[in-house]
């Protein structure tokens, strides 16, 4: 039978306390690394028990947003807020009502429907579907892994005032990249920007778009 002297008991207690402190420190560091790894967007929540994919999957409705487009120096700004919107350009401002909803599935497909109605006019309805996937880390674009999603359209339709058009692309090569600024269980804030130039008949046309949209889970 081993008998610990008072001095030995004191040393043993000190060692036990240090061991407990070390274990707690390791646990805190591990948790910090885990939460940091889950945080991709600038305004993502610090803690989430759901994976990033499971947070994207579901039905989302546009709550508010701003879309600014510039074509050869002409600026058009569209603002969305609580199912009501305004569109302003150098000719003035118009008001409309709107609805925009996206459905992201687990299998990597998505669908959306967007409707706009101006006073005294028939609604315009836009529908589309395609595939979505996370964008991998890209240092040159300053993107973290899974910070953005790529939406690639395969089917599109538009109808207005009795006229309609459709398009199908079974093997699309281009997509629209959404940078996710915030992603929680109930809110998704995305940013989108692009620049393009087209040439026709000896003249060129430049087009830029910059958007930030806030979706709420349905």
72 lies in some domain: yes
Q: How far is CA 5 from CA 16, 17, 58, 149, 188, in A?
A: 16, 18, 65, 65, 63
Tens digits of residue pLDDT in 123-145: 999 999 999 999 999 999 899 99
44 lies in some domain: no
Taking alpha carbons only, the member of 217, 151, 152, 211 closest to residue 188 is 217
121 lies in some domain: yes
Q: How many domains, the chain?
A: 2
Is the pLDDT reported for residue 25 higher than 70?
Answer: no
* Contact residues for 205 (Cβ-Cβ < 8 A; gap 6+): 71, 72, 197, 198, 199
170 lies in some domain: yes
Do residues 90 and 124 share a domain? yes
Is the pLDDT reported for residue 202 higher than 70?
Answer: yes
Do residues 101 and 5 share a domain? no
Q: What does pTM read for this prediction?
A: 0.77
Higher-scoring residue by pLDDT: 28, 91: 91
Q: Are 59 and 103 in contact (CB under 8 A)?
A: yes
β-strands 109-118, 124-134 pairing: antiparallel
Do residues 115 and 181 share a domain? yes
What domain range includes position 185?
52-217
């Amino acid at each position: 039978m081993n008998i610990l002297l008072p001095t030995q008991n004191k040393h043993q207690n000190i060692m036990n306390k240090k061991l407990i402190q070390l274990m707690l420190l390791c646990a805190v560091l591990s948790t910090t690394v885990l939460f940091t790894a889950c945080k991709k967007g600038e305004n993502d929540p610090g803690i989430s028990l759901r994976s990033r994919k499971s947070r994207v999957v579901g039905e989302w409705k546009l709550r508010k947003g701003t879309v600014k487009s510039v074509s050869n120096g002409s600026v058009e700004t569209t603002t969305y807020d609580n199912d009501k919107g305004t569109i302003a350009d150098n000719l003035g401002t118009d008001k409309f009502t709107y609805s925009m909803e996206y459905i992201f599935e687990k299998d990597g497909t998505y669908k959306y429907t967007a409707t706009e109605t101006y006073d005294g006019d028939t609604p315009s309805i836009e529908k589309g579907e395609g595939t979505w996937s996370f964008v991998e880390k890209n240092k040159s674009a300053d993107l973290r892994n899974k910070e953005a999603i790529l939406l690639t359209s395969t089917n599109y339709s538009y109808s207005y005032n009795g006229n309609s058009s459709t398009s199908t692309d079974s093997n699309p090569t281009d997509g629209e990249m959404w940078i996710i600024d915030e992603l929680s269980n109930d809110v998704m804030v995305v940013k989108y920007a692009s620049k393009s130039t087209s040439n026709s008949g000896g003249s060129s046309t430049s087009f830029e778009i910059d958007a930030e949209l806030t979706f709420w889970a349905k």
